[in-house]
């Protein structure tokens, strides 16, 4: 059975990192005789340029019908803050497909410890899974502008909190059995509901998992001073967005982190956590590892090809271990060369 993958390269470095990752996907498909079929659609700023909308109807329909969606990045200075925005297309896509659970793994590769701006002994062994709630909170609340005043409503329901928390607890059981729920319960009502709901679910169904609560401001500090104390992080949409970029520094570069956005079925959206990186776009120097890691997550979660996914992860490990690096990590490889280095390790 053919696996239908919708490709949304998007803007800036998006097309560069997706092409690089497709090289790896095609090679692994060949190796494991996987029938992967890629169909590309307009999305983001590129779609605004082509037809005036960041998420054209045709693109959304293809995404609904796909087995998986593979995305580069959207946005850039060309599409200003106050006009129709590429990012709005991404938010609608996540919400329309019900992709409420965003998994962002942060793992330090041993060979990269020396590349971090943080002390090696502090980041050694970092292995965190961020579970970011993705379809609620301030991102999706009513937005208002009245004269000189603006507001963004932040709302969460118990239902939204429980389904995200469940994914975090389940994931923890397969890891080091620890969840840190991060909120701002000393100030925000949504955070108080978040904490109460997580505590109730934990007592009822997940008492075997260790649970800790932290306030987001001190968590932002502790993630740098004691990152080894985190296993699974469970947090709401906006905090998860901010903390995941912070955590990318623990791994060495924002270009390294991939993500999976999942809902209740097997359809998923896979993308690196970084943006369109307009400052380096068009130069073929972006780090494609986060996108290749997202490809491995796609093989694992949507296509259920565990062996192929493990093979891609091992090839990433081997390439980095061999000192093959892009310039964000002090290396010399182009985006394409980095992908070729991963391909070269697929069979080894």
Q: Which residues bind ligand IPM (CB under 6 A)?
A: 75, 87, 90-91, 241, 273
Measured from the CB atom, is 273 or 293 closer to ligand IPM? 273
Q: Which is nearer to ligand NAD, 112 or 254 (CB)?
A: 254
| Segment near Mn ion (CB under 5 A); pick from 144-152, 182-190, 237-245, 247-255 | 237-245
Cβ distance to ligand IPM smaller for residue 9 or 27: 9
Residues 6+ apart with CB under 8 A from 160: 100, 133, 135, 136
> Among ligand NAD, ligand IPM, Mn ion, none, what does residue 278 contact (CB within 5–8 Å per kind)?
ligand NAD
Token pair for residue 243? 């903390």
Asked if 68 and 303 count as a contact pair (C-beta separation under 8 A), the reply is: yes
- Please report, as ranges, the residues that interact with ligand NAD according to CB under 6 A: 13, 17, 73-76, 87, 90, 254-255, 271, 274-280, 286-287, 328
98 binds, among Mn ion, ligand NAD, ligand IPM, none (CB under 5 to 8 A by kind): none
Residues 6+ apart with CB under 8 A from 248: 106, 254, 256, 257, 273, 274
| Residue tagged active-site, from 107, 127, 222, 245 | 245
339 binds, among ligand NAD, ligand IPM, Mn ion, none (CB under 5 to 8 A by kind): none
| Catalytic site includes residue 107 | no
Catalytic site includes residue 49: no
CB of 286 to ligand NAD, least distance (A): 4
Q: Is 245 considered catalytic here? A: yes
CA dihedral 161, 164, 248, 286 (to 10 degrees): -120
Contacts 24+ apart (CB under 8 A), 148-156: 154/188, 154/190, 154/238, 155/190, 156/190, 156/193, 156/194, 156/236
Q: Which of 41, 241, 270, 301 is catalytic?
A: 241
% helix / strand / coil in the chain, to the nearest 5? 50, 20, 30
| Active-site choice (11, 41, 139, 183) | 139
For this structure, is 241 an active site residue? yes
Q: Within 10 Å of residue 344's Cβ, how many Cβ atoms?
A: 15
Instruction: Taking the CA atoms of 293, 217, 262 and 136 in sequence, report the sign of the dihedral they define.
Output: negative
**Contact, 244 vs 104, CB < 8 A?**
yes
**Is there a catalytic annotation at residue 67?**
no
Residue with Cβ nearer ligand NAD (237 or 287)? 287
Report which residue's Cβ sits closest to ligand IPM.
87
Task: State how far the Cα of 259 lies from the Cα of 241, in Å rounded to an integer.
Answer: 12
What is the bridge-based pairing of β-strands 101-107 and 127-133?
antiparallel
Q: Which of 184, 230, 301, 328 is catalytic?
A: 184
Q: Among the options 152, 217, 310, 321, which is catalytic?
A: 217
- Calpha distance 315→340 (Å, rounded): 11
Among 42, 160, 241, 271, binds Mn ion (CB under 5 A): 241
Contacts of 78 (CB under 8 A, 6+ apart): 11, 45
Please say which residue, 71 or 179, places its beta carbon nearer to ligand NAD: 71
Q: Which is nearer to ligand NAD, 101 or 209 (CB)?
A: 101
Catalytic residue set: 139, 184, 217, 241, 245
The site for Mn ion (CB under 5 A) is made up of: 241
């Amino acid at each position: 059975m053919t696996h239908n993958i919708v490709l949304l390269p998007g803007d800036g470095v998006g097309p560069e990192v997706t092409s690089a990752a497709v090289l790896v996907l095609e090679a692994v498909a060949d190796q494991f005789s996987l029938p992967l079929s890629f169909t590309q659609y307009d999305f983001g700023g590129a779609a605004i340029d082509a037809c005036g909308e960041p998420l054209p109807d045709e693109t959304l329909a293809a995404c609904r019908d796909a087995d998986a969606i593979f995305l580069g990045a959207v946005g850039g200075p060309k599409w200003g803050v106050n006009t129709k925005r590429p990012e709005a297309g991404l938010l609608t896509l996540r919400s329309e497909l019900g992709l409420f659970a965003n998994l962002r793994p942060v793992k330090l590769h041993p060979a990269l410890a020396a590349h971090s701006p943080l002390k090696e002994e502090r980041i050694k062994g970092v292995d965190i899974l961020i579970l970011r709630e993705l379809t609620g909170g301030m991102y999706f609340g009513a937005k208002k502008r009245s004269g000189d005043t603006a507001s963004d409503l932040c709302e969460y329901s118990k239902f939204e909190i429980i389904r995200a928390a469940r994914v975090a607890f389940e994931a923890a059981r397969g890891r080091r059995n620890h969840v840190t729920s991060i909120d701002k319960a000393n100030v925000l009502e949504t955070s108080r509901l978040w904490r109460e709901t997580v505590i109730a679910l934990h007592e009822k169904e997940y008492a075997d998992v260790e649970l800790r609560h932290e306030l987001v401001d001190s968590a932002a500090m502790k993630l740098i001073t004691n990152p080894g104390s985190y296993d699974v992080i469970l947090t709401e949409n906006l905090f998860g967005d901010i903390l995941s970029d912070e955590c990318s520094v623990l791994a060495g570069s924002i270009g390294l982190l991939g993500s999976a956005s999942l809902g209740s079925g097997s359809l998923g959206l896979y993308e690196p956590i970084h943006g369109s990186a307009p400052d380096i776009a068009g130069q073929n120097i972006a780090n494609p590892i986060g996108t290749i890691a997202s490809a491995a997550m796609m093989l694992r979660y949507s296509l259920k090809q565990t062996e192929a996914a493990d093979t891609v992860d091992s090839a990433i490990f081997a390439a980095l271990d061999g000192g093959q690096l892009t310039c964000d990590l002090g290396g010399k490889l182009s985006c394409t060369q980095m992908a070729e280095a991963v391909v070269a390790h697929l069979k080894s």
